[in-house]
Amino acid sequence: MVSVDLRVRRFTPAAEKVFNLIAADVGRPIGHIRPDFVGGDLVGIIREVIDTIEVREREVTDAAGNAYTLRVRPYKSLDNRIDGAVIALFDISALRMHEARLTVAQEMGTMLMDVVAKPLLLLDRKLKVIRANAKFCDTFNVRPSDTEGRFVYDLGNGQWNIPALRRLLEEVLSEQQNLDDYEVTHEFPSIGAKRMLLTGRRIEAGRNEGVIVLIIKEIHEVGP
C-alpha cells in the first residue's frame, strides 16, 4: 500500500521479493523502489489511479519470465477520502503457459488437418463448421472462407443439406455416439452425383461442449 504522496506505507511478506522491498523501505517514495518486474510505469499508474479513482491493470513480467497481472486500486480512509493506493500482483504464468500450449496445439491441429488425404470437417455442437481441410475444399470446390462459421447443411449453397446426414450428426451430438462408415448418395450441383462413406467422431471439450470430426473415407462417382 502507498500513500497519496506515493510513499510505501506497508507491504506483505509475499510482496517483498517481487517488489525488492525491505523493512527500511517503509516511508520511502515508491519511485525509489526497483521492483523485479517490467512492463509498466508503476509510478505513473499509481498517480493515474489516485487522480481518477479508477482501478488500473497491466500485464508485467519478472526477470525469470513469469507473468503477472499488476492491479492498482484506490484506497479510501474511514471518512471516505482517497488515502492512497493498493498494489497487487497476481501470478498468471500458468495461464499464459496454458494459452501458449493451446495455441501450439491449435496450430498443429490445423497443420495435421491440411495434410490428411481425406476430406475432413470439424464441426461444433451446433453443427457449424469450425474448419474444413484443404482436401475437402478441393473436392467440393469451396473456399475455406465459404465454410468456416457456417452450418454444415448450408455449405455450397445448400449442397450439404442432406436430411439423413443431418439427423445422424445430431444423434452423434445428443447421444454421444459415433458415426461409422455411413453411406450417403447425393447429387451435388457443383461436382455431380457422388456416393460417399462417412465416419464421424465426437470429441469431448468440457461440460456440454464437444466437436465432431467428420471424415469422408471414400467418395465415388455415381453412374447414370
Residue 44 predicted with pLDDT over 80: yes
Cell numbers found for residue 50: 489516485
- What average pLDDT does the structure give for the chain? 80
Cell numbers found for residue 70: 499488476
What was the pLDDT predicted at 211?
77
| Total-model pTM | 0.51
User: 204 near 188, Cβ under 8 Å?
Assistant: no
Q: What is the mean pLDDT of residues 169-194?
A: 75
Q: What is the mean pLDDT of residues 132-146?
A: 84
Chain region(s) in the chain for CATH 3.30.450.20: 113-221
pLDDT tens-digit profile of 5-28?
888 888 888 788 788 888 888 888
**What is the rounded CA–CA span in Å between residue 38 and residue 91?**
14
Q: 33 exposed, middle or buried (CB, 10 Å; 0-12, 13-18, 19+)?
A: middle
Domain 113-221, CATH 3.10.20.440 — does that match? no
